[in-house]
Amino acid sequence: MKAENAKLVDTYENKLPFSVLEEIKNSVPDSASKENIKTILEETFALYLQAKINPGECVGLVSAESIGEPGTQMTLNTFHFAGVAEMNVTTGLPRIIEIFDCQKTIKTPMMEVYLKDPKIENVKALALKIKETKFSEFVTSYSLNIFEQNLKVTLSRELLDDHGLDVKDMIKALKLKAKGFTMESDDGSLTFIHKGKPEDIKDLYNLKEKLKAVKISGLKGIRQVLPVKRGEEYIVLTSGTNLKEVLEMDEVDATRTICNDMNEVYQVLGLEAARQTVINEVYKVIESQGLNIDIRHIMLVADIMCASGVLRGITRYGVVKEKASVLARASFETPIRHLINAALEGEVDALTSVVENVMINQPVPLGTGLPGLITKLK
């Protein structure tokens, strides 16, 4: 398209969506005259106005029905094994509920960690580095000696070498937890001896349990790691999330690494990123179930969840709590509690929305019921 014609198209910037203008620019041939383009734009604009949703249309209701109906076809089965790997993912209806209710702890938190330099060796190294490893994983055997009042722990050489650690690093990591005990390291084993007078054998037993849970390496919360090929490059899938600390690592590509827990994304990347995560995650479920729901419906729900500046679920503690009308809140869940509280506080219901007007049998402010009429008296 010629430059002057492109300029003409740009004058419709505020009237037509960006994607429509792009399409016009790409599909109109160079030979088109200025007049032709003017007509095209005018007609597109007229069609666009026709396609727009009218003021007063109840889009929320349409969304609810559009998501609800295919939702009945969704699997109630929670788990699904993604691909060849033994990584299980919540899908289907349970996942949708999880997202829309904005639950604080989701069933299968996951991250996709991208690398700046996605070579296979780097991916493997990173996978080992971020996996949360507890002390108990390095241990081959514990032996509690009752007569000498000590605890001997034998460590696995191979695992230590894999992680690039040695016995000294272990001592450093365990020092804080093993207060009141002296540690002696031997080739590949650690011996804990009670400082001072030997006391109850129970102390040693408690120490053993405490040591098991000490974190040696990795990031807190990352239970499982799995290097996989995604398109052309290798990435690390993790089960368990710690988005904040992963993004702080030097080798991680902090622009593409994502997480499926919207609350965590909200904390780390902010409201808009959380909104996008909600949309992406819901759409992923819908696609995997072979359903077809227009993305606008999901965008609407996500926008409502983010409207108050905080990420809120569609629950009686979230979005519904924000409603101004007592009757609207009472019609959702736990009606009696809402009514009693409203009565105690002396709340006033302005009856400006839909549900309360349905209840009292009055016209609802939707469609033709929305505009008020004013008569000009002569």
Partner 1 sequence: MTSPAKHILVPSHVKLSDKEKETFLQSQNLTIKELPKILVNDPALIGSGAKEGDIIRIERASATAGKTFYYRVVING
CB of 331 to partner 1, least distance (A): 24
Q: CB-based contacts of 351: which residues, under 8 Å, 6+ apart?
A: 325, 327, 357, 360, 362
Distance of CA 287 to CAs 11, 36, 71, 93, 280, Å?
A: 37, 40, 12, 13, 10
Would you count residue 307 as binding partner 1 (CB under 8 A)?
A: yes
CA 292 from centre of chain = 22
Would you count residue 296 as binding partner 1 (CB under 8 A)?
A: yes
Would you count residue 303 as binding partner 1 (CB under 8 A)?
A: yes
Would you count residue 295 as binding partner 1 (CB under 8 A)?
A: yes
Q: Which is nearer to partner 1, 145 or 267 (CB)?
A: 267
The residue with tokens 């929320």 is: 60
Tokens, residue 128: 């080992």
Q: Which is nearer to partner 1, 24 or 207 (CB)?
A: 24
Tokens, residue 125: 């190294």
Q: CB-based contacts of 153: which residues, under 8 Å, 6+ apart?
A: 139, 141, 142, 143, 189, 190, 191, 192, 211
Q: Which is nearer to partner 1, 210 or 296 (CB)?
A: 296
CA 214 from centre of chain = 28
State whether residue 157 is helix, strand or coil.
helix
Would you count residue 230 as binding partner 1 (CB under 8 A)?
A: no
Q: Which is nearer to partner 1, 101 or 245 (CB)?
A: 245
CB of 208 to partner 1, least distance (A): 38
CB of 251 to partner 1, least distance (A): 13
* Contacting residue, 3, 4, 18, 220, with partner 1 by CB under 8 A: 18
CB of 160 to partner 1, least distance (A): 30
Would you count residue 226 as binding partner 1 (CB under 8 A)?
A: no
Q: CB-based contacts of 26: which residues, under 8 Å, 6+ apart?
A: 1
Determine contact, residues 281/265, Cβ cutoff 8 Å. no
Q: Which is nearer to partner 1, 150 or 257 (CB)?
A: 257
Total residues belonging to the chain:
378
Q: Which is nearer to partner 1, 85 or 324 (CB)?
A: 324
Query: Per CB under 8 A, which of residues 233..292 are in contact with partner 1?
Result: 244, 247-248, 254-256, 258, 265, 267-273, 276-277
Q: Which is nearer to partner 1, 100 or 266 (CB)?
A: 266
The residue with tokens 């809140």 is: 329
Give contact residues for partner 1 (rule: CB under 8 A). Answer: 17-20, 22, 244, 247-248, 254-256, 258, 265, 267-273, 276-277, 295-296, 299, 303, 306-310
